[in-house]
Copies of this chain bind each other. A is one copy, B any other.
Amino acid sequence: MSKVLGFEEVSKHNTPDSCWVILYNNVYDVTSFLSSHPGGVKAILQLAGQDATQEYDPIHPPGTLETSLPASAKLGSIDQRTLPEVEKSPMDDGSAGSARPFDLEECLNLDDIEAAATKKISRKAWAYYYSAGDDLISKALNTSVYRKILLRPRVFVDCTNCDSSTSLLGHKINVPFFVSPAAMARLGHPDGEHGIAKACAQYGVAQLISNNASMTPEVITKDAKEDQVFGWQMYVQVERAKSEKYLERIHKLPNIKFIVLTLDAPVAGKREDDERMKNVGSQLAIRDVVTDSGGDADAGKKKKGKQGGTSVAEMLFAGTASDLTWKTTLPWLAKHTKLPIVLKGVQTHEDAYLASLYAPQIQAVILSNHGGRALDTAPPSIHTLLEIRKYCPDVFGRIDVWVDGGVRRGTDVVKALCLGAKAVGLGRPALFGLGAGGQEGVEKVFKILKEETKTCMRLLGVEKTSELGIKHVNTRAVEQDIYDGPGGLDELRPRLWQAKAKL
């Protein structure tokens, strides 16, 4: 029978010499494990002598504990009456969205959903989902740029029928949006990524699985319908063998139809809302590991990985390669997967053009500034879309172009499609939907957005997504702001043309 320990006793073991932690109501002695923790000593020591479940759970896939610790490490169970009271942590201070609804049923739009989730989830989860780089300028632009585009409804057109379906790389989806890869879904609700998958099944939505998902791809896809479409987001590891192994694992999951190679966060942006939370928040903040302490005349020479790991983020991201290039990474990938590649994080027409030259290995790009979480004042994807239209529309003929960031209305979805996007990704809306009501909350998000999308198509006088075109939108207010500097293409075109001959 398991021994029952009191919190006072446990809390004394809070040093490298004797380090206990409480996880899922059990007490573990992790002293000998400290040095081999992938995320570093410090991440554990911050929680030494305490209940670490809330921090541990959402970022460690199930089974981690069993495979990492010997059975002997489990000392017993905690006497729960002895635990200090903890912050119950709904954001109930009234500062956010007070006029917005609390209940899922009353939510009429995606802003309502965010407000409802904000009231329900922990401050930590909120900070992680809400935060973006620096001053949140790109995050705000992502949404406001859609508001500046006007629609051009055509009238006296039969709009009885309306079909919102489209296809992703040949796979039919019922609605022209998909779930962008977003980490840590279980922070917001225990349904996690699997709950999102089940909602996707209901609405025929595609889902891109984050490399840092809080559930394994196997679990996420286990209840998938036969025709359900998934993509798998890959962060290439420094040790390429690890990535190769993971690919093999992915190849066994038949619903995963393509690989999403994420390029827009080779190092992490500065997400201050998240950092201010100081615990999960800062641990998840994927900051530049080359941190300067005191003078740093030689800081530039420090190598990654040499410093003691200081955060859970390093556990997740340690080993993520920052040396990917067109020339080296794509050939390597070609050797290890036959799945089509989607490049996520393209933010200039130059890179979209480059990507298109690598078709058919690359079959799509996702224009994305990482939800404004990477580089602040990076352009919204709508800018990049307009750049491509202006400088190299031939890209649309070679690969698919998807976008994400800032979509909150069906009119936003339709506008992106009018400008040439094949589909639109949802990041925070899916997470906030999950936070607001688990799987059901995600379904509500899909339902709202699908209805809005179809109402918009009908009012434009359009029956099928393929009919949406540039004549349905007035983008003039945005076009005044897009890049018109020296054309990277003048450099790129001839060089690449030669190298690759004609496609």
Interface residues of A (CB under 8 A from B): 106, 108-109, 134-135, 137, 147, 149-165, 174, 201-204, 263-270, 272, 275-276, 288, 290-292, 294-297, 300, 304, 322-326, 329, 343, 345-348, 350-351, 354, 369, 374-379, 383, 409, 411, 443, 447, 450-452, 454-456, 458-460, 470-471, 473-477, 480-486, 488
Which residue of B165, B346, B476, B483 is within 8 Å of A155 (Cβ)?
B346
Given A266-B159, A288-B458, A486-B470, CB of A153 within 8 Å of CB of B323 = no
In the assembled complex, the Cα of A29 lies from the Cα of B377 at a distance in Å of 60
Contact B460 A485, beta carbon cutoff 8 Å: no
Contact B156 A374, beta carbon cutoff 8 Å: no
In the assembled complex, the Cα of A375 lies from the Cα of B149 at a distance in Å of 13
Contact B443 A270, beta carbon cutoff 8 Å: no
Contact B476 A266, beta carbon cutoff 8 Å: no
In the assembled complex, the Cα of A351 lies from the Cα of B153 at a distance in Å of 9
14 contacts between A and B (CB under 8 A): A153-B369, A153-B378, A155-B345, A155-B347, A157-B325, A158-B323, A267-B459, A288-B458, A375-B411, A375-B455, A378-B459, A470-B486, A474-B485, A476-B480
Q: How many copies does the complex hold?
A: 4
Contact B270 A452, beta carbon cutoff 8 Å: yes
Contact A269 B459, beta carbon cutoff 8 Å: yes
Contact A150 B378, beta carbon cutoff 8 Å: yes
Which residue from chain B places its CB closest to the CB of A358 in the assembled complex? B156
- Chain B residues with CB under 8 Å of A202's CB are 294-296
Contact B203 A153, beta carbon cutoff 8 Å: no
Which residue of B163, B374, B476, B486 is within 8 Å of A153 (Cβ)?
B374
Which residue from chain B places its CB closest to the CB of A267 in the assembled complex? B458
In the assembled complex, the Cα of A134 lies from the Cα of B412 at a distance in Å of 11
In the assembled complex, the Cα of A486 lies from the Cα of B476 at a distance in Å of 12
Contact B459 A203, beta carbon cutoff 8 Å: no
- Chain B residues with CB under 8 Å of A294's CB are 202, 443
Name which of A156, A203, A263 has the most chain B CB atoms within 10 A of its CB. A156
Which residue of B106, B154, B345, B378 is within 8 Å of A351 (Cβ)?
B154
> A interface, by DSSP: helix, strand, loop or mixed?
loop
Contact B326 A375, beta carbon cutoff 8 Å: no
Contact B471 A486, beta carbon cutoff 8 Å: yes
- Chain B residues with CB under 8 Å of A345's CB are 155
Which residue from chain B places its CB closest to the CB of A146 in the assembled complex? B377
Contact A304 B160, beta carbon cutoff 8 Å: yes
Given A325-B156, A379-B150, A476-B482, CB of A374 within 8 Å of CB of B295 = no
- Chain B residues with CB under 8 Å of A354's CB are 156
- Chain B residues with CB under 8 Å of A155's CB are 263-264, 266, 343, 345-347, 351
Which residue of B154, B292, B300, B329 is within 8 Å of A451 (Cβ)?
B292
Contact A411 B325, beta carbon cutoff 8 Å: no
Which residue from chain B places its CB closest to the CB of A350 in the assembled complex? B154
Which residue of B351, B377, B450, B459 is within 8 Å of A150 (Cβ)?
B377
Known pairs A150-B377, A376-B411. 16 more at Cβ < 8 A? A134-B409, A149-B377, A150-B481, A151-B378, A154-B347, A154-B348, A156-B263, A158-B325, A164-B300, A174-B296, A267-B455, A267-B459, A296-B450, A375-B455, A471-B488, A480-B480
